[in-house]
Every structure is written in C-alpha cells, then in structure tokens.
C-alpha cells in the first residue's frame, strides 16, 4: 500500500470531513474555518522548513502552505454539506523557484472537495460564505483569526440590509480532538512504518556509540537513518544526553564527549507522512552496564512492563502511570534510595525526586497529540486536588499512547556515588486494541542482554 500519496487515499479524508460536518449539523449547523500553518521566516531571506497544520492536514491531506478549508454543514434537507478549499493559484514562474503547486482546479479534483478557489479571494469569499450562517466554528486555542472576526463584524454592519451575521462562535478543537484520538487503519499503517524506521535509527546509534564520540555524532546517525528510509524529518528535537546530561529531561544533543562508564539516553523519533514516532532507549557508552546502572535500568524496564500491561481497552489513562509509580517506588526503597513504605512514599510524593514526569501521552500527527485526558462525562469533584477533580478517561481501541517511565539520579550526599548521573528512560509507542495492545516500536532492543549483545556486534 502506497502511504506517501494522500491523493490515493481521498476517501479517508472525505470520510473525516463528512464526520465533522455531521457533528456540526447535529449541533445546529454553521460554517467551519480551518487554516493551515503559515510559512515562518527564519532569518535574512531564509524560511524554516515548512510543516502544515495538523488539524488542517487531518481533514484534507493537502500539504501546501497558503491554504484554508471551509466546511458548511447545510441544513440536512434543502442544502447539502460543502467542503471548500482555498489554495495558491498555479504559477509556473514561482514553481521554478519553490516547487509544484496543485492550484484550485487540480486540488478540487484530486482531493475531492466540493469547490476550490484561489487563496487571494479567501477574505472576500469568506464574508459571503458566512452570511446567514447561525454559527462560526473555528480553532480557538490560538485566538480567533483576524479575517474571521473582521468578516463577522462586517456582516453585523450589513445585517440591517438582510444579510444575517452568525450569532455564535464555537470551538472546533474538542470535536477534532475526539476524532483524532481514535486512529483509523490508514493512520496506524503509517505509524507502524514510522516506528520501524525510528527503531532502526536507534539501533544504528547504539552500534555507532563508543567512548570518545560526542553527542552530536549519535544525533547524526539518527538523522541519517530517518532520511535514508524516507522519513521527512525528526518528529521533535532529538535528545541525546550522556553522563549528567542523561538526567536533563529535555536536553538537546550537544558537544559533550561520551566517556567510558557513562550511560547515554536517546529520545528520538521520525515524522513520516505527518505522523510521529517517539522512542527512548538508554545504554552504556562502552557496551557494558555497571552494577548500579543495571539495577536502575532493570527497575525502569520492570516499571515499563507493568505500565504496558495496564494499557488495555476499558482501563483508565491514569492506570499505567500509577503502575509505573508503584513499581519504581518499591524498587527505589529496595535500592535504599528511598525510605519508608511504598504507600507512604507515594502519598508523600517522595518518589518525584527521581521520577518527576508522567508515564506517557497521546501520539499521532503531533508528538503530544490532540484529545482530552480527562473523562468529561465523569463527576467533577471541586474538593479534590486539581489533578484529580475529574477522572482520567477510559482507553479505547485505536488510541495510541507512549509508555515512558524513567529514573534520574543526580549527585547528592545521601545517594551512593555509584548511582550518580544515571538517567534512564525507556519508551515505546503502544496502540490500544480490542484484545489488549500492540507495541509499534520493539524493533530496537530493550533488555540488558539484548543491548549488550547488539553493542558487542
């Protein structure tokens, strides 16, 4: 199956638009406006590499800049739903410099829109399309687009002449978040391939690692493998941290030398056809774990295994984080890095000295993907701590989560020196299925024996 060409999967995007239009119609109708991301200036006459808006792409499959989508719900009887694309006109001179443009005519035919127009006419036509619509739907998180607000205001001025302005604004983000949360077969096929490529990149970096190299050398191995296998880019800035840097959660690969006896933590994944992969592995720089490194690593691996076991349909999103907390806390007490009982150390949050983040997040078109973590239908308890005022939502087939417990042991007087500067995180991408789960990223070794064997090779 060719996953790289959206025009071969028009029906996928048409189904998504139809599903969103049906929800809008059920909520009283109206018009939705979704613009793609703008091109961003970098410096002088250079631009950042372009990346489309995820919500726009999810509904269109259209990856060019300078585009917008308008959806009109219709009334269910007299007027049919419409999906209208605005994009750049064909321009042979600009295509010589910037590359191919579909133009409105080809875009309408290839991507299955009701109509398509030049983006230069967007502001004018938007005012016409909004006239007599009861509601404007837009993505409100980044603020209302100025052209939408201007169009509504102008319509209000004209309302005395028989053109009615929309009377309400509604946020599209909750509807799109719920849709994007459940991945369809097309999305999962891409994410499996992204996971395979990213796993191969981690294997390459492990094999290349040796004392004397620098963090950026391993980052280069990752980037090479991503592009060699057809991924467009990293899904996020790759983390490659050695020694003390392995204990910095959002560290960027720098020029620190990889030293004998250090651990190396790599958190990296590619983006393939818009979809992210997200893998973390930790390994010894010289290919052999010390006793303390092995103890911490195997504790984190046990926590990850307990967490993955809790990723099942019908379980709550919070369950797998709680499984990692309990396993890690128990292990830290056994290693004498924490004192007291497991329940006491969890209740007092003592474990957060070494494990200060959640066990995972949604994954998809964005690394931290769209969708609510709370169950909006659950009772709201205003007396509870803020994080627990509403229950976490139930997992369902088609959701994709990362599972990434970790421990980060920094130098301290009450920590034995053998544990200093050991940062370990192990992360895989997990799909919730009807019968359990599927791990998309186990193409890279994860046990101590597997990692040491790979690095010997």
Q: Which residues are catalytic?
A: 45, 250, 267, 278, 357, 361, 368, 404, 408, 425, 427
Measured CA distances, 313 to 87, 302, 310, 363, 438 (Å): 41, 21, 9, 16, 12
**Structural contact between residues 419 and 337, judged by C-beta atoms closer than 8 angstroms:** yes
Of 325, 240, 231, nearest to 270 (Cα)? 231
What is the distance, to the nearest Å, from the Cα of residue 35 to the centroid of all Cα atoms in its chain?
Answer: 19
Query: Rounded to the nearest 10 degrees, what angle do helices 122-130 and 146-158 cross at?
Result: 50
Within the chain, how many helices (H) and strands (E) appear? 13, 19
3-state secondary structure 48-69: CCCCCCHHHHHHHCCCCCCCEE
Helices marked H in 33-168: 54-60, 92-98, 103-111, 122-130, 146-158
Around 147, how many Cα atoms within 13 Å sit in the side-chain half-sphere? Answer: 16
Asked if 392 contacts 294 with a C-beta cutoff of 8 angstroms, the reply is: no
What is the side-by-side strand order in the sheet with 233-234?
233-234, 270-272, 275-276
């Amino acid at each position: 199956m060719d996953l790289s060409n959206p025009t071969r999967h028009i029906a996928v995007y048409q189904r998504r638009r139809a599903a969103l239009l049906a929800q809008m119609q059920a909520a009283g109708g109206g018009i939705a406006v979704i613009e793609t991301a703008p091109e961003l200036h970098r410096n002088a006459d250079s631009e950042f590499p372009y990346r489309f808006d995820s919500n726009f792409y999810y509904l269109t499959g259209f990856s060019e800049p300078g585009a917008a989508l308008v959806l009109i719900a219709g009334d269910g009887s007299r007027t049919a739903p419409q999906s209208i694309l605005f994009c750049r006109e064909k321009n042979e001179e600009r295509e010589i410099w910037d590359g191919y443009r579909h133009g409105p005519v080809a875009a309408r035919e290839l991507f299955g829109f009701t109509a398509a127009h030049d983006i230069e006419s967007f502001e004018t036509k938007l005012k016409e399309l909004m006239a007599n619509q009861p509601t404007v739907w837009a993505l409100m998180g980044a603020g209302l687009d100025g052209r939408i607000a201007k169009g509504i205001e102008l319509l209000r001025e004209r309302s005395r002449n028989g053109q009615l302005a929309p009377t309400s604004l509604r946020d599209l983000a909750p509807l799109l978040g719920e849709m994007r949360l459940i991945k369809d077969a097309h999305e999962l096929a891409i994410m499996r391939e992204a996971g395979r490529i990213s796993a191969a990149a981690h294997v390459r970096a492990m094999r290349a690692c040796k004392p004397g190299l620098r963090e950026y050398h391993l980052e280069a191995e990752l980037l090479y493998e991503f592009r060699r296998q057809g991924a467009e880019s990293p899904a996020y800035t790759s983390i490659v941290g050695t020694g003390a840097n392995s204990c910095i959660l959002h560290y960027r690969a720098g020029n620190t030398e990889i030293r004998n006896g250090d651990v190396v933590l790599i958190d990296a994944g590619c983006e393939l056809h818009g979809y992210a992969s997200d893998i973390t592995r930790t390994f010894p720089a010289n290919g052999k774990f010390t006793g303390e490194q092995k103890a911490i690593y195997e504790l984190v691996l046990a926590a990850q295994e307990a967490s993955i076991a809790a990723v099942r349909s019908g379980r709550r999103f919070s369950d797998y984080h709680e499984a990692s907390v309990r396993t890690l806390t128990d292990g830290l007490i056994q290693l004498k890095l924490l004192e007291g009982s497991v329940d006491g150390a969890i209740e007092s949050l003592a474990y957060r000295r070494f494990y200060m983040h959640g066990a995972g997040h949604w994954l998809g078109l964005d690394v931290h993907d769209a969708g609510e973590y709370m169950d909006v239908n659950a009772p709201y308890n205003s007396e509870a701590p803020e994080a627990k005022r509403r229950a976490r939502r139930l997992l369902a087939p088609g959701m994709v989560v990362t599972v990434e417990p970790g421990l980060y042991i920094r130098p301290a007087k009450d920590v034995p020196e053998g544990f200093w500067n050991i940062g370990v995180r192990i992360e895989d991408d997990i799909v919730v299925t009807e019968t359990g789960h599927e791990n998309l990223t186990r193409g890279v070794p994860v046990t101590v024996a597997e990692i040491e064997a790979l690095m010997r090779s």
